[in-house]
Amino acid sequence: MVALSGPDAMRICVTGHRGYVGAILLPLLQRRGHWVLGIDTGLFAECAVPGPSPSPQPDRSLCRDIRDVGAADLEDIDAVVHLAGLSNDPLGDLDPALTAGINGDAAAALAAAARRAGVGRFVFASTCSVYGAAGDDVVNEATPPRPVTPYAAAKLAAETAILQLAADAFTPILLRFATAYGYSPMLRFDLVANNMTAHAIASGRVLLKSTGTQWRPLIHVADMADALVAALDAPRQAVHAQTVNVGSDDDNVRIADLAELVAAAIPGAGVERMTGAEPDRRSYRVSFARVAQILPDFRPCWTIAKGVADLHGRIVGLGLPTCDFEGARFNRLPHLLRQRAAGRVTGDLRPASTARPT
Ligand SMILES: NC(=O)c1ccc[n+]([C@@H]2O[C@H](COP(=O)([O-])OP(=O)(O)OC[C@H]3O[C@@H](n4cnc5c(N)ncnc54)[C@H](O)[C@@H]3O)[C@@H](O)[C@H]2O)c1
């Protein structure tokens, strides 16, 4: 048994620790004295930004598909943070049955395995996109979710199954996150604010790819990691079997307004509307009143203006070639399609090197 570094230190399993959010969360947990088991198949292992320092490593790393994780893998673990999965709508649309299997069934099976293993807390990274096509009305946790994409439907299915596992010794917490933005060493440009920022750097213009009338809440990736920590730290009775929207009321924006905000944060940038842009039916304007009650220690620190300016400075500082902005390196779906075409990833999205024999 590894010695823990303080009375509040835990043994935490983070799935998806090699992704955009995990790369921020992992060092944060370790700095707080926690021991971390990371489980991830490394689908985006080549997608890190170039840098002099090696990426942070968990105390123990398991290259295992979440569809294959069992209770034995989670022995002696106090809490699980479940991030692994297909992380946006374009990935989810690739094969809806696969999406339901990974983001829905496997998440539920992982939670069941955690409960069997005696894990006390299970923090699930869900999404505000479960609200679907909610129009202009403000939705909250009491609003019936109406997902309109396979990604969101699978997340909702997982939520329902995971909540049913709540027990005296097993506390699930469902965090419905706003759309993330901001810098992570596992950078993604397929997130709307990051994409707008990258496009503005490449062309001097923020490209509005839809009509922009849809509502979307945003959260900085560092605030997302802070919320996950707060969910781990909160007293059991405060978070037991709770579903909470995580974001900030101030960062609920229409996408056209986001484009203006991003342009204002980048010197000399303007907004360009893509010709023939269509409306996006995914629209949700979300209340974040509840998170302040359930996780009082969580306070979003970032604003869109500050986060975009920071991201802009870092991208320019890294000197990333503009071909990377829309290419496979920092965009999840094109990267996986390329990996699959090259035979490095199987049809069911397992790295070929770890695929089970048929
Ligand atoms: N980024 C956002 O805007 C956002 C918003 C709301 C919710 N979320 C959720 O947060 C989580 C993390 O998002 P992210 O942006 O870091 O995603 P990401 O795509 O950057 O990282 C996902 C990680 O999971 C791993 N993974 C994928 N499928 C796996 C499998 N079957 N077995 C083992 N590992 C697997 C990948 O290798 C990758 O390292 C996701 O569940 C996502 O749905 C993200």
Which tens digit of pLDDT belongs to each residue from 91-119?
A: 999 999 999 999 999 999 999 999 999 99
186 CB within 6 A, ligand 1: yes
303-328: average pLDDT? 91
Please report, as a single letter, which amino acid is at residue 331. N
CA-CA distance, 328 to 60, in Å (whole number)? 29
* Structural domains for the chain: 11-187+218-250+281-301+343-354 (3.40.50.720)
For the stretch 288-297, pLDDT in tens is: 999 999 999 9
Confidence of residue 6 (pLDDT cuts 50, 70, 90): low
Confidence of residue 281 (pLDDT cuts 50, 70, 90): confident
Tell how far the Cα of 221 is from the centroid of ligand 1, in angstroms: 12
* pLDDT score for 280: 85
Confidence of residue 358 (pLDDT cuts 50, 70, 90): very low
CA-CA distance, 324 to 312, in Å (whole number)? 15
336 CB within 6 A, ligand 1: no
Tell how far the Cα of 199 is from the centroid of ligand 1, in angstroms: 23
* pLDDT score for 25: 98
Residues 158, 103: contact at Cβ < 8 Å?
yes
Dihedral Cα 72, 75, 77, 78, nearest 10 deg: 110
CA-CA distance, 279 to 60, in Å (whole number)? 45
Closest ligand 1 atom to Cα of 186? 20
* pLDDT score for 169: 98
Question: What pairs with residue 81 in β-bridges?
Answer: 14, 123
18 CB within 6 A, ligand 1: yes
Backbone dihedral region of 274: left (phi > 0), alpha (psi from -120 to 50 degrees) or beta? beta
pLDDT at 320 over 90: no
pLDDT at 241 over 80: yes
For the stretch 125-137, pLDDT in tens is: 999 999 999 888 9
